[in-house]
Structure 1
Amino acid sequence: MTIGIAIIGSGNFAREEHLPLLHASDTFDLKALYSRTLKSAETLLSEKNITTLDIYSEDSGPGKRYEDLLAREDVQAVVIALPITAQPTFIKQALLAGKHVLSEKPVAGDLETARSLLSFYQTEVLEKVVWGVAENYRFLGKFRRVAEEVRKLGAVRAFRVSVRTLIKPGSKNHQTEWRRTPAYRGGFVLDGGIHVVAGLRLILGKEDALAAVSAMSCLQQEHLAPVDTVDAVVKTKSGATGTVSLSYGAAVNETVFDFSCDRGVVSLNLDRVTANGESFDVPYEGRSVNHELAAFAESIRQGELEERLRPEEAMADLEIMEGMFVSEGGSVQLDLQ
């Protein structure tokens, strides 16, 4: 039996991933789309030439608002892809309405809000519905492969992560108003960097998770205020040290993960993995949102959330990012890893 589902949000990710995947899904039955405005919802569906979905928005009038969508018995689940600070309220409403929820990363704009949201879920609705937080980097084949290669070579002794690019004025992400004037700490670094942190955590594994972070931040491009670059030194529970450099205002473009292990070196450069001098490409299979959705569907059917979707994992990602932002050169201890 298919799972009735609705998409909450009509931004870039809904346009590029959620809508086409769910519309073509044999697992989910896409029933409706919610957006803040009727115009944005209609524009998205027109672009995709989809005429079969019901539209809900804040300006659609009585019977067509978010709470009305949540009242539908044929909608068992929702995918929420809204601005970072807006999501917690929509998540709570959906959970209280008895809907299964997959919300986009980060789990919240700050750790305090995330803790409150998780506490609410655990005390109010945990046994009724599943709530997962989508982080597609946990499903990407290249990170899983690097993790496997690292395990083969023993303990990690040192590592370097450098992800640098430039968000140009007028680009699709910069055009988004809530990203241009963020109401959360870290701006583009939080929005993009949390992916990188999730990938790093996957590779290091639970047994050698990060324990402390110290960082400095700056702004290189005025249009990316308040901050577009963070450089951090981190330490794992075993005592291994590493650097994590994140910039969305950089003059160079690179995505590099290097790990020095007991018995050799593993590196990831874009989609190319090198293990002890032997290089191979991990074929790019998209952003792996399809795998997230499959895991979400299976979680609903089993009544138990897939490990990679757990809100606790998303909170651990956010703890590292927030530690970078508040550090100002001091050492911040990490407790959720």
Structure 2
Amino acid sequence: MPGIAILGAGIFAKEAHLPALHALGSDAPPLLAVYSRSEATAKECSEAAVSLGLAPAPAIYHDGDAEHNLDALLARPDITAVIVVLPITLQPEIIRKAFAAGKHVLSEKPVAPDVASGIALIKEYEEKYKANLVWRVAENFEAEPGFRAAGKLIRDGKIGKVNFFKATVMNFIDVGNKYYKTPWRTVPDYQGGFLLDGGVYQGGFLLDGGVHTIGALRTMLPHPLTHLSAYASSNFDYLKPHDTINAVVQSAGNFHGIVELSFGAPTAANPVADQYIITGGEGWLTVNMKHTAGKSVLRIHLRRVVRDHEGKRLREEEETMDLPGTGVKSEFESFFEKIEGKETMDIGDPVQALKDVAFIQAGLNSEGVSIDLEKLVVEGK
């Protein structure tokens, strides 16, 4: 059976990707290899795979050994697809190498460190590789059953025409946070860069984590976001250069909303849980992500007006549903189905993922000026 490899052996690879592969069981191709820049982290990831029951132990590849480096891994004919989980600025180069080696690619979000480089990468894929290779961007919020169910409720007219929305996400990040200690978020060379006042602006947590929020909105809202006006700020020195974006947003469907996105919450207990509120002419729904005992659940709360056949208001109905957080597993399953040519979820489109990056880039650069998101995605500036 054709196998896969994981390129990158950090926290998310070990704590999310390996469990997802294990949960899929025989529906996932065998994990044949793990690559990391260091031998030690590659070994840790391989051992973690075995401890979960993924056998045999994935082969270890790392830099500094010509016989067991990334080029050697990509040369293996029994590996047909790779999952790329590397620092943001390194991913485009590795994705290109995988394409050139004839491998299907599932690359972690964001699609690229900035819009311009994302446009170039997508153009190269579409012109040279798309006919024969699958490339998907792993935005697990897009694959979450909860966000997808909320989107279907809205498309089915359960709250009527969408009038406005609000997304509030507040994250407490201190220097002891396991993700803060990774170079993805703290070393400028790995964070991704946006042009600001003629210099390079680093994305950090807002780029790496913020695209989740925009991906969730993209999944739920019936029309794409087209314009924003925002301000960004830095509230903690260790989270420089910016940790917060507040944006007012317009959509193609003539509705508008507010996005409050921060990794600069001052305490672990926040005044409001991560929440999405979408309001229509006939009702509203909220989506909250809850974490309990190591598991995540998305709770959808819907309240709507019920009318008779003449349109007369009869009553209001309320409904709550909890859906398990299985986004990583779902995106993996869909990726493997796509490779096999099966009908599957329409997720992971690099062009759509680029829109998430465009939102963050625009939010960091806006300084109160309205930015055309659709133009940014086309022109890269």
TM-score (norm 1): 0.93
Give the alignment partner of residue 63 of structure 2, picking from 58, 73, 94: 58
Larger-gyration structure (1/2): 2
The whole-number CA distance in structure 1 between the counterparts of 2:248 and 2:2 is 44
Q: Is the 8 A contact 1:149 1:275 kept in 2?
A: no
- Distance (whole Å) between structure 2 residues aligned to residue 33 and residue 101 of structure 1: 14
C-alpha separation between the residues in 2 aligned to 1:56 and 1:121? 26
Unaligned runs of 5+ in 2: 193-201, 290-297, 304-316
Contact 1:23 1:30 in 2 (8 A): no
Q: CA deviation at 1:203?
A: 0.9
Is contact 1:153-1:262 (8 Å) kept? yes
* Contact 1:132-1:310 at 8 Å conserved across structures: yes
Deviations 1:82-137 (A, max 9, x none): 00010000000000100000000000010011001001101111112111111111
CA distance in 2, matches of 1:112, 1:304: 31
In structure 2, the partner of 1:278 is 318
| Structure 1 vs Structure 2 CA RMSD | 1.9
* Partner residue of 2:251 out of 224, 233, 236: 236
Structure 2 counterpart SS, 1:235? strand
Q: One-letter code of the match for 1:95?
A: F
Q: Deviations over 1:274-331 (max 9, x none)?
A: 21162413132x3421111111111111189852111111112112121111111100
- Residue number in structure 2 paired with 1:170: 176
Aligned residues: 332
Q: Distance in 2 between matches of 1:23 and 1:238?
A: 41
* Identity percentage of aligned residues: 36
Which digits, 9 at most, give the CA deviation of each residue in 1:156-202, with x for residues without a partner?
Answer: 11111100021121211011023112332321011111001010011
Moved more, 299-308 or 77-86: 299-308
Match of 1:7 in 2: 6
CA distance in 2, matches of 1:16, 1:133: 19
User: How far apart, in 1, do the equivalents of 2:100 and 2:259 lie?
Assistant: 38
Match of 2:366 in 1: 327
Q: Match of 2:310?
A: none
Deviation at 1:46, TM superposition (A): 3.3
Q: 1:99 aligns with which of 97, 100, 103?
A: 103
Confirm or deny: 8 A CA contact 2:49 2:58 kept in the other structure.
Answer: no
1:289 to 319, 323, 328: 328
**Shift in alpha-carbon separation, 1:70–1:125, aligned structure 2, 3 A:** same
Q: Residues of 2 paired with 1:76 and 1:279: CA distance? A: 44
Gaps in structure 1 of 5+ consecutive residues: none
CA contact (8 A) 1:79 1:102 kept: yes
Q: TM-score, with normalisation over the residues of structure 2?
A: 0.83
* Kept after mapping to 2: 8 A contact 1:165/1:254: no
Between the aligned partners of 1:20 and 1:273, the Cα distance in structure 2 is 25
Match of 1:186 among 203, 207, 210: 203
Distance, in Å, in 1 between the alignment partners of 2:330 and 2:17 is 12
Which deviates further from its counterpart, 305-314 or 131-140?
A: 305-314
1:201 corresponds to 2:205: no
TM-fit CA distance, 1:48: 4.8
Larger mean Cα displacement after TM superposition, 293-302 or 149-158: 149-158
